Amino acid sequence: MYELDEPKYLYLLAVIPVLLLLFFYNLWWKKKKQREFGNPQLVRRLSPASSVFKPVLKLVTILLALSGIIIALVNPKIGTKTETVKREGVDIVFAIDVSKSMLAEDVAPSRLEKAKQIVSQIINNLGTDRIGIIGYAGSAYPVLPITTDYSVAKMFLQNMNTDMVSSQGTAIGDAIELAETFYDDPQTSKLLILVTDGEDHGQGSEEAAAEARKKGIKIITVGVGTEKGGPIPLKVNGRTESYKKDNQGETVITKLYPNDLKVIAERTKGGYVYGGSTRDVTEYVKNALDNIEKTEFESKEIALYESQFQWFLGAAFLLLFLEMFMLDRKTAWIRKLNLFNEKES
């Protein structure tokens, strides 16, 4: 049982055949120059201590050391034992208002961007909880089903905009009903976090909240915007050209409706928090999660791996150290053996 921590470094092994080619080219070039200088046998007699075997041994040693360093970079790991790991947490669904009113800039940079910041920070503070995302305006739209992949969730979150749902309005009831379908295990603890300005143009949000409570879903509502309100900008290429107007030509002012959001939360024994401060919201949600019973999602056997790079690195340094003492001339006792019949007659 093994795994490679950084397999990309295996590509560095391609340098070894290149070094071999350079070595053999160098041998060929030396022999060519020797033939140009004079008789090869005479040249060998002029340098009787020169070894044919030592350069090859030095090359092999260097290549083995280089291979050891590369494998150390790869960091092979060997599984030593298995351990049972339990995952516990809460199933959390984020329902984010993407109606046009969320473009209002009474909170910087806009209500929708503020909502994204809040949800992203909540996700950053989670541990083993599972999360899903819903976008809603005049109707609700599933963005991401329940998952433990937080990086993917944040990617989908950042891509949310007011054009993703064609029908305009704010149907909080539809969002609650859609969220109920996200919870695939009736035994898990369930939390729905509604991030909205509270303008509800739909029907039955309180009834939907009451039904959610029967299914064990607790709702936290996060109010984004101000009660004073602000206009809805109409932008072209990122620049505000005008503001949304009603049938009488008056500029529409969209406001935060916290009371409605408080009622929805109370129906499920949840709570309401104002979204003016991201830190306050994340602290509120953290405290709420601490008071919710965690459910075991799964238990599985995982292998524990230990890094083995140190053995290859140590062997590489040892080989490089030995290579420093390898000379190109023949060793005295090997010369006496006359393995290649190089003694004069």
DSSP state, residue 245: B
- Report how far residue 251's alpha carbon sits from residue 289's, in angstroms, rounded to the nearest whole number: 41
pLDDT for position 345: 42
Residue 112 clears pLDDT 90, i.e. is over it: yes
Find all residues with CB under 8 Å of 284, minimum gap 6, and list them.
220, 271, 273
Residue 221 clears pLDDT 60, i.e. is over it: yes
- In angstroms, how far is CA 90 from the centroid of its own chain? 21
At 176, the pLDDT band (50, 70, 90 cuts) reads very high
Q: For the chain, how far is it from start to end, CA to CA, in angstroms?
A: 60
- Report how far residue 143's alpha carbon sits from residue 131's, in angstroms, rounded to the nearest whole number: 11
pLDDT for position 33: 73
Tell me what the mean pLDDT of segment 132-144 comes to. 92
At 266, the pLDDT band (50, 70, 90 cuts) reads very high
pLDDT tens column, 225-259: 999 999 999 888 778 888 888 888 899 999 999 99
pLDDT tens column, 11-65: 999 999 998 899 888 888 877 776 776 666 665 665 555 666 677 888 889 999 9
pLDDT for position 168: 74
**Token pair in block for residue 305:** 């791996």
- Report how far residue 113's alpha carbon sits from residue 108's, in angstroms, rounded to the nearest whole number: 8
- Whole-number average pLDDT of the chain: 84
Q: What is the DSSP track for 98-165? A: -SGGGG--SSSS-HHHHHHHHHHHHHHT-SS-EEEEEEESSSEEEEEEEES-HHHHHHHHHT--TTSS
Coil, strand, or helix at residue 247?
A: coil
**Residue that the structure tokens 């075997």 belong to:** 53
- Pick the residue with more confidence: 65 or 2? 65
CB of 199 within 8 A of CB of 257?
yes
At 89, the pLDDT band (50, 70, 90 cuts) reads confident
Residue 84 clears pLDDT 80, i.e. is over it: no
At 344, the pLDDT band (50, 70, 90 cuts) reads very low
pLDDT for position 235: 83
- The pTM of this model reads 0.63
Backbone φ and ψ of 104, nearest 5°: -55, 145
pLDDT for position 320: 87
Tell me what the mean pLDDT of segment 135-161 comes to. 92
- In angstroms, how far is CA 310 from the centroid of its own chain? 28
**Token pair in block for residue 345:** 């007659």
Q: Which CATH class is domain 87-298?
A: alpha beta
pLDDT for position 28: 84
- Report how far residue 220's alpha carbon sits from residue 243's, in angstroms, rounded to the nearest whole number: 31
Backbone φ and ψ of 114, nearest 5°: -65, -40
pLDDT for position 222: 96
Domain residue extents for the chain: 2-75+308-337, 87-298
Tell me if the bond preceding 109 is cis, omega within 30° of 0: yes
Q: What is the DSSP track for 5-36? A: S-GGGGGGGGHHHHHHHHHHHHHHHHHHHHHH
Residue 316 clears pLDDT 50, i.e. is over it: yes
Tell me what the mean pLDDT of segment 301-329 comes to. 80
